[in-house]
Structure 1
Amino acid sequence: MKSNQPEQPKDMQELRQSLGRLEQRLQGVAADMERTQIAEYVKLLNRPWTLIWKNMLSGTARGVGIAIGFTFFAATILYVLRILGALNLPIIGDYIADIVRIVQIQLEGKTY
């Protein structure tokens, strides 16, 4: 019959290796949680007025950005249409003239 004493150091060594791997994995999980800033998110959820204020500011900034972007886009389109209208191209010029005519009729309050 064999004694269990030679196996104990081997089991202890495997246990230490296993615990070492577990510790490394836990440190990795802790580092990942720090990178995702979960604590700050939970703190923000526990303060609803701060959350509302930050969402209000971000929504306002987004709305202003959209308005500025659309204005720039529309001005660019109108500039290009003005240049194309000045070239008196047969097809495009007639199309732009139709658009101008429709807009003028709508401004006068008449239906076309």
Structure 2
Amino acid sequence: MSAVYRLTLGLAREMEKSRIAEYTQLLHSPWRLIWLNIISGIARGVGIALGFTFFAATIIYVLQMLGALNLPIIGDYIADIVRIVQHQLELKTF
């Protein structure tokens, strides 16, 4: 009997660790589930936008530094890319 009790107690602890009760409550309240998904989607979108902006700015900065070195072939190519990006930034689309 004590072996069954220990097994049951172990299963109960594992279920508490997996937070299965909170998951089932979430499934029974669809509006809360929708709200949490909307908030998490917005957070992911903002994070992706900020991350890509930082990444693109870093790449443009590195390209500008490489363009300033006046490398023979690569310098012209990088200068063209920088000019195109700067031209796009100067355009007013609104």
User: What is the TM-score of this pair, normalised by structure 1?
Assistant: 0.71
Unaligned runs of 5+ in 1: 1-18, 108-112
Q: What's the CA shift for 1:45?
A: 0.5
What is the aligned residue count?
87
Query: 4+ runs of 1 displaced by more than 2 Å?
Result: 97-101
- Matched AA of 1:80: V
How many Å separate the matches in 2 of 1:76 and 1:20?
Answer: 63
Unaligned runs of 5+ in 2: 89-94
Match in the other structure for 2:66: 84
Higher RCO (CA 8 Å, separation ≥ 6 residues): 2
User: What is the TM-score of this pair, normalised by structure 2?
Assistant: 0.84
How many Å separate the matches in 1 of 2:67 and 2:79?
Answer: 8
Matched-pair identity in %: 63
Q: What's the CA shift for 1:99?
A: 3.2
Alignment partner of 1:57 out of 33, 36, 39: 39
Q: Which has the larger radius of gyration?
A: 1
- Matched AA of 1:28: G
Deviations 1:34-92, CA, capped at 9 Å, x for gaps: 11111111001000000000000000000000000000000000000000000101121
Match in the other structure for 2:91: none
- Over the residues paired in the alignment, what is the CA RMSD in angstroms? 1.9
